[in-house]
Every structure is written in C-alpha cells, then in structure tokens.
Amino acid sequence: MATLLPVSARLLLSQDPIEADVILRAMRDELERSRQLRVVGGAGDSLPYFISYTVGDADNLSIGAELGSVFHVNRRRFRSPIVEVRVGDYDFDNTGHVFSGLYSGSRYDAQPWPLDDNYSVIRQDLWLATDHAYKAAIESMSRKRAALNSVTAPADRLPDFSKTEPVTSLAKVTPVKLDEAGWTSRVMKLSAVFQAYPEVLASGVEFLADEGVTYMMTSEGSAIRYRDSMAILYAKVEAQAADGMILHEGISFSSLEPERFPSDAEIRKSFIEMAEDVRALSHAPAGEAFSGPVLFEPRAAAQLFAQLLGENLGVPRKPLTDPGRQVNFVSSEFETKIGSRILPDWMDVVDDATQTSWQNQPLVGYYPFDLEGVKPRAVSVVEKGVLKGFLTTRQPGKNSPFSNGHARLPGGYGTRAAGISNLFVKASETATMADLKKKLIDMCQQRGKPYGMLVRKLDYPFSADTPEVRAMASSSAQSGGSVRPVSLPVLLYRVYADGREELVRGLRFRGVSTRSLRDIVAASRETALFDYVASGSVAMLNPSGFLAPSAVIAPGMLFEEIEFELPQDQLPKPPVVPPPPETGGAAA
C-alpha cells in the first residue's frame, strides 16, 4: 500500500530547487527588487545594468603543530557574501579606475553574516550589502568620469565588461562533516617527524580545510550552486649552515575533497625526504656563480613553468588614473607576444579546468565555475611554440574580447584576475632523463665547462617570508630577469663529467624571465604533476584569502644557458648553544 506523504513534504517535492533553498530564494527575490535601484536626479549612467550576488557557506578548520605539539586549533563556521553592482553599461562602467570600489560614506551591511536560514534576515543583509555596493559604484563612476576629463581617451578604448550566456546549475550538495579530532591527531603526529633532525632549527605543520557550498545569482539570469571545498596541509622547515646561511624548504599537499586526502604514510615519507634534504644542505658547500647548460628534472620544470608561464597567461588592464599619479601595476611579460615564439616549436601548452584527473591522480585545478559564474573552457595557449591566446575574465583585453572562464582571484580596480587551472606542458620531441643528463655533460665539455647544473626542486610556493620574496623580486628585476620573483633552487647539483652529482646551496637565478624559455633545447619523456594553491600575485606556502588550487604537468627540461649567482648578503651567526637533546616526544 502506498504511503501518503505529509503535506509539507509534498509541497517541498513540488518546489523547484530555488524555492527549496532559503539562500537561493532570498537571493532571487532581493535581486529582483534591486533591479529597480535608482538615484533621484541621477544621470543615466547611475542606473545599474549588472548585479551579482555570491554567497559562500563554509565550515573552516585550521590546525597548527610543531614537533609533535599542537599550538592552535580553530574551527569557524561562516557565510561570506560578495555583492557586485555595475552602473553604466557593458561598454563603459564604474570599474577600471584606480579607486574603483571605494566608498567614502557610512556602511550598514552586516559583518559577519548570520548562519541560520532566516529568509527575512538574509534578504535584509543582501539589501544593505547592495546599498553599499551601489553607492560605491556611483562614486567610482564619478571619479572615472572626472579622470577622463583630465586625459586624452585612447582611440581603441575597450569595453569594460563582456556579455556571457546565463547559466543555471543547481547541484545537490550533501554536507561532509570535518573530523576535527581526527585531523588534530594526524597533524600532531606528522609534525613530530622533524624531532629526529637536530639540523632543523624551526619547523611547523599547518592544516587548512574548507567544506562548503557556493551560491551565485546574477541579474543576467545565472543561478548556480555547487560544492566548494578543499584541504591543504603544508610543512616548513628552516636550518642554518656553519657559515650562518639560512636554508628554507617547504612542501604542501592539497585536495578538493578533504575526505580523500593523501595518506599519512605518503605525507610522512615526503616529510622525511624534506628533512633529509635540509640536513644535507646544512652540510653542503656554498655554490659559485655559474652560466651554462642546466637540466631541470620534471618536478622542478613544472615549478618553473608555474611561475614563468602560469603567472603571465592572464593580462590585466592598466587602470585609468589621474595625470601624474603612479600606479603600482605589474602586467604580463606576454602582453605584446601574441603570435610570437615563446617556446621551441615542438612544444604546446593547454590549460584545461575541465579535467579532473591525470594518470589516475586527481587534479586540484578542476572547478565547475569561475568567480564570475562562467563555465571554464580548455584553452590552447601555446601551439608549436607560438603564443596563441590568454586566460581571460569578463574584462575584455586587446586580444581577448570574451571570457574563457578563468576569473579565479580578486583583481584590482573592481575586476577579477585570471589564473591557471590545470596547465599541461607537452613536448612532441623527447628523450629519457638519463639521455638528457648525458647531453648536459656533452654540452658542458663542448663549452669547456667543468660541470653543468641540475635542478631537482625549487622553493615554490615560497616558504620564505614576504620581505624575502619582495627582495627576490627586486633583485630579479635589477638583473634583467622577471619583474615577479623567481623562486630559489632548493635542491641544486653540480654534475661532473663522470656523472657525479654534488649538492650545493645558496645560489639564486640571475636574469631568468619568460625569455629564458626560448633557450630550452630538449625535453624528457618522464613527466611530473605539481600542484599548489595560489592566493594572489605570488604563491606563498601559507595561503590566505581567496584560494585558486592549480596543477602543472610538465616534462623535464634542458636549457642551453641559465645563470646563477651567490648573493653577497651578510649572514647571521649560528646559535652558540646547541639544541636540547631529543627526549622522545610524540610518536611519529
């Protein structure tokens, strides 16, 4: 006999997904009301032409430990709204000015947002956030108009926003509970690995996890809901050589599904390898300035491509500003290179956010929608060595009028910034790593070099602190290299004529930039997957704010010439008192 459902259950089943979700319903209803926004006596360009509501509903867990002891456990549930209002039209709006988004008046929107599913309160908070965003947009438009009156507008001025087809995608999301006790125990035990290494003067292990749902709705008709989760575990270690040189190294693991994180055995093995590397580095000789052939193993090559290619495939537009005002703006080194050769003609590069795995390994660069609600497309950025296109957002560029779904991070001046997802670097002409090592030795002998160099690992994402990274960027620019910092080689070896490898420390790249990629002479058959988390213009090992998980798959690379230098920095003195004896501590 059929069971008759209660009236409330029958009503719920008959509702569409928006009616059944309080957040979506409040967003839809307040968005519809916000379409009527007007300023009494305002100009025509004070009318909103685009409104977007995004709400992230997340459970956040953060755990830190050192040498088997937990020093913080933070659990936080939060909802973070982003309300965007654009006034004017697609051709000319309030964005793209150096002060776009700033508002000089009072704000009344709720900070933080309520956690309960109260329809009326959610609508009220959306209303107040919309009020703030609308007033900021009108002020920004006034500043932009005033700035244009002081400069000559370019003849080829681009539109400010591109149109896109609205999307409806309301996936059912089943919440997954984060195991706070289990993760605390895991992080504590993993951090104890470094107790066995007295050469490690400082260490730390951090675990960050977000489990949640992202909602998005726009005045163009898009309605989106999807699971938005990820987990990151990273470790940093620091040692000091006998001459006082400070040595950094770090490693990270990430997953889009916290419940499918790498095993403790895999993580512990990597931690032990890192500690052994730092021990070896602390006893290794300092390197000497070098210029000549260099071989990057696949992991190091992927790290280099993440920086030199990945950080230059988005081309932001320089903002409009007042005459004489300097803007701290860093563009892409590829900005004028469309149609130019940037790699050997036997290499191709594709960025594909739609791929979820590679050789049975999950790819963290997958995402269903970008920050602007655009579904990502695979982009062939380099074909036969020639730059063919960029990763784009809805802010049109000279060679990219439409978005291909790569708005991954907040940009400046009321815009979003493009970022890579899963970057596949492919070579049609390859040899084994053993053969490339032989070729490296042959090239050195032909040039009369006593040895070549082999790079096994770079410090990327950066484990150094922010001032050190800024100093690296300044040094790189002064030496004719990239204006962005290029990470230091952590595991760097001299390769002698008999194949012997000698670890050296302290060297950094000199003059390395995207131009260096044209000096690649060979690639390996072996490839490596390197993943990391970007959170801004520079990828740091301790990411914060918006996170853009990314992956690079690349072969090893042999370069005809790379320069290294030994910085002439003053070195701190090593500790006078030896470290306390190991007492056992927590079990590893």
The residues near 157 (Cβ < 8 Å, ≥ 6 apart) are: none
The bridge status of strand 379-383 relative to strand 246-255 is unpaired
Instruction: Using the predicted structure, report yes or no on whether residue 16 has a pLDDT greater than 80.
Output: yes
Of 44-58, 493-507, 513-527, give the lowest mean pLDDT range: 44-58
Which of 460, 480, 458, 452 has the alpha carbon at shortest distance from 559? 452
Q: How far apart are CA 373 and CA 82, in angstroms?
A: 13
Which of 195, 209, 174 has the alpha carbon at shortest distance from 66? 195
Contact 25, 170 (CB under 8 A): no
Q: If pLDDT is split at 50, 70 and 90, which confidence band does 9 have?
A: very low
208-262 residue pLDDT tens: 999 999 999 999 999 999 999 999 999 999 999 999 999 999 999 999 999 999 9
Q: If pLDDT is split at 50, 70 and 90, which confidence band does 582 have?
A: low
Contact 380, 389 (CB under 8 A): yes
Instruction: Using the predicted structure, report yes or no on whether residue 511 has a pLDDT greater than 60.
Output: yes
456-486 residue pLDDT tens: 999 999 888 777 777 777 777 677 777 788 8
| Whole-number pLDDT of residue 586 | 46
Instruction: Using the predicted structure, report yes or no on whether residue 64 has a pLDDT greater than 50.
Output: yes
Q: How far apart are CA 418 and CA 552, in angstroms?
A: 16
| Whole-number pLDDT of residue 394 | 97
Q: If pLDDT is split at 50, 70 and 90, which confidence band does 6 have?
A: low
414: left (phi over 0), alpha (psi -120 to 50) or beta: left
Token pair for 160: 């400010």
Sign of CA dihedral 468, 474, 479, 480: positive
Q: If pLDDT is split at 50, 70 and 90, which confidence band does 155 have?
A: low
Instruction: Using the predicted structure, report yes or no on whether residue 585 has a pLDDT greater than 60.
Output: no
Q: How many CB atoms lie within 10 A of CB 89?
A: 15
Percent of the chain with pLDDT over 90: 76
Q: Concatenated DSSP letters for 477-519?
A: HHTTS-SS--PPEEEEEEE-TTS-EEEEBS-EEES-SGGGGGG
Provide the mean pLDDT of the chain. Answer: 91
| Whole-number pLDDT of residue 495 | 98
Q: Concatenated DSSP letters for 161-208?
A: -------EEE---------HHHHHHHHHHHHGGGGG-TT--EEEEEEE
| Whole-number pLDDT of residue 216 | 98
> Is residue 114 classed as helix, strand or coil in its secondary structure?
coil
Gyration radius from the chain CA atoms: 26
Q: Which amino acid is at 502?
A: E
| Whole-number pLDDT of residue 3 | 46
Helix axes 119-148, 22-34, angle to 10 degrees: 40
Unique residue bearing structure tokens 């620091």: 238
Domain-wise residue ranges, the chain: 14-56+77-170, 290-320+333-565
Sign of CA dihedral 371, 374, 376, 381: negative
Instruction: Using the predicted structure, report yes or no on whether residue 1 has a pLDDT greater than 60.
Output: no
Q: If pLDDT is split at 50, 70 and 90, which confidence band does 41 have?
A: low
> Is residue 94 classed as helix, strand or coil in its secondary structure?
coil
Percent of the chain with pLDDT over 70: 95
Highest average pLDDT, of 12-26, 30-44, 482-496, comes from: 482-496
| Whole-number pLDDT of residue 56 | 95
Q: If pLDDT is split at 50, 70 and 90, which confidence band does 339 have?
A: very high
> Is residue 400 classed as helix, strand or coil in its secondary structure?
strand
344-394 residue pLDDT tens: 999 999 999 999 999 999 999 999 999 999 999 999 999 999 999 999 999
Q: How many CB atoms lie within 10 A of CB 402?
A: 14
Which of 477, 369, 380 has the alpha carbon at shortest distance from 423? 380
* Cis bond upstream, residue 285 (ω within 30): no
Q: How many CB atoms lie within 10 A of CB 70?
A: 16
Q: How far apart are CA 252 and CA 237, in angstroms?
A: 12
Q: If pLDDT is split at 50, 70 and 90, which confidence band does 40 have?
A: low
Q: How far apart are CA 384 and CA 179, in angstroms?
A: 48
Token pair for 234: 């990273």
Instruction: Using the predicted structure, report yes or no on whether residue 61 has a pLDDT greater than 90.
Output: yes
Q: How far apart are CA 305 and CA 552, in angstroms?
A: 8
Contact 444, 494 (CB under 8 A): no
Which of 322, 306, 413, 312 has the alpha carbon at shortest distance from 364? 306
Contact 64, 72 (CB under 8 A): yes
pTM of the model: 0.93
